[in-house]
Amino acid sequence: MKFLTVTLLFALMLSSLKPSAQEIATTEKFGNTLNMGVGLGYYGYVGYAVPVLHLNYEFDVARNFTLAPFITYYTYQDYYYWGDAHNPYQNYSYNQTVVPIGIKGTYYFDQLLNAGPKWDFYLAGSLGFVIRTTTWENGYYGETTINEGSGPLYLDVHVGTEYHFSNKTGVFLDLSTGISTIGLAIHFKR
């Protein structure tokens, strides 16, 4: 529902903005940017925040709007209490690696907010799928499916900012409903 709301807001904003020819000529380009971040991901089924690595590459699509293919990586260890008539009840550990892959759509509010050339402000939504692998401790013979409620669909809503050190580099903060990161932005052909 959140993703649909953000998408509708993007569409309304894009359709209501009609720039003049002079504004189009001076419009800032946000794409051709490699974003590398580290941060924390929190998912209800894990129960705590986990360290995350994130990478995306932005392409200009329309005025103030970019698309960015992304890949994210995190891994964590947890325990499951299990036993049966032939195995003692105890905590068995497992490691899970999670890799969300998808596309992030970003709308920049710099012109609307009259932000200076050193700052970018944005709202974004991510859509993709999740690849999960789980490795169980030796001696565990119970059910190996965990996180049954979390399917392969990945949805995330973001709000963020970037501070430009130069035309080529900047640092960003991306806060979201699932994975929040801070990192380095490298701009090409800007």
Side chain identity at 139, as an amino acid letter? G
In the chain, what are the domains? 2-11+28-69+99-131+150-187 (2.40.160)
Task: Report the alpha-carbon distance of residue 129 to residue 125 in Å, rounded.
Answer: 14
Which of 170 and 14 is assigned the larger pLDDT?
170
Closest by CA to 115, choosing from 37, 25, 28, is: 28
Number of H helices, E strands in the chain: 3, 8
Report the run of H or E that residue 69 belongs to, with start and end.
strand 65-82
Q: Which residues contact 33 (CB under 8 A, 6 or more apart)?
A: 57, 58, 66, 68, 185, 186, 187, 188
Mean model confidence pLDDT for the chain: 82
Closest by CA to 107, choosing from 67, 147, 139, is: 67
Q: What is the pTM of this model?
A: 0.77
Q: What is the mean pLDDT of residues 62-80?
A: 92
Beta bridge partners of 123: 107, 159
Q: In the chain, what is the straight-line distance between the N-terminal and C-terminal CA atoms, in Å? A: 35
Q: Indicate if the pLDDT at residue 18 is higher than 60.
A: no
**How many C-beta atoms lie closer than 10 Å to residue 59's C-beta?**
12
Which of 76 and 184 is assigned the larger pLDDT?
184
The pLDDT of residue 120 is 96
Q: What is the mean pLDDT of residues 30-39?
A: 92
The pLDDT of residue 24 is 36
The pLDDT of residue 173 is 97
Which of 60 and 134 is assigned the larger pLDDT?
60
Q: What is the mean pLDDT of residues 25-50?
A: 76
Give the tens place of pLDDT for each residue, 119-173.
Answer: 999 999 999 999 988 888 887 777 777 765 567 899 999 999 999 999 999 999 9
Which of 146 and 63 is assigned the larger pLDDT?
63
Q: Indicate if the pLDDT at residue 21 is higher than 90.
A: no
The pLDDT of residue 44 is 55
Which residues in 83-141 belong to E strands, given as ranges? 90-108, 119-136
Q: Indicate if the pLDDT at residue 23 is higher than 80.
A: no
The pLDDT of residue 7 is 46
- The answer to whether 123 and 110 have CB atoms below 8 angstroms apart is no
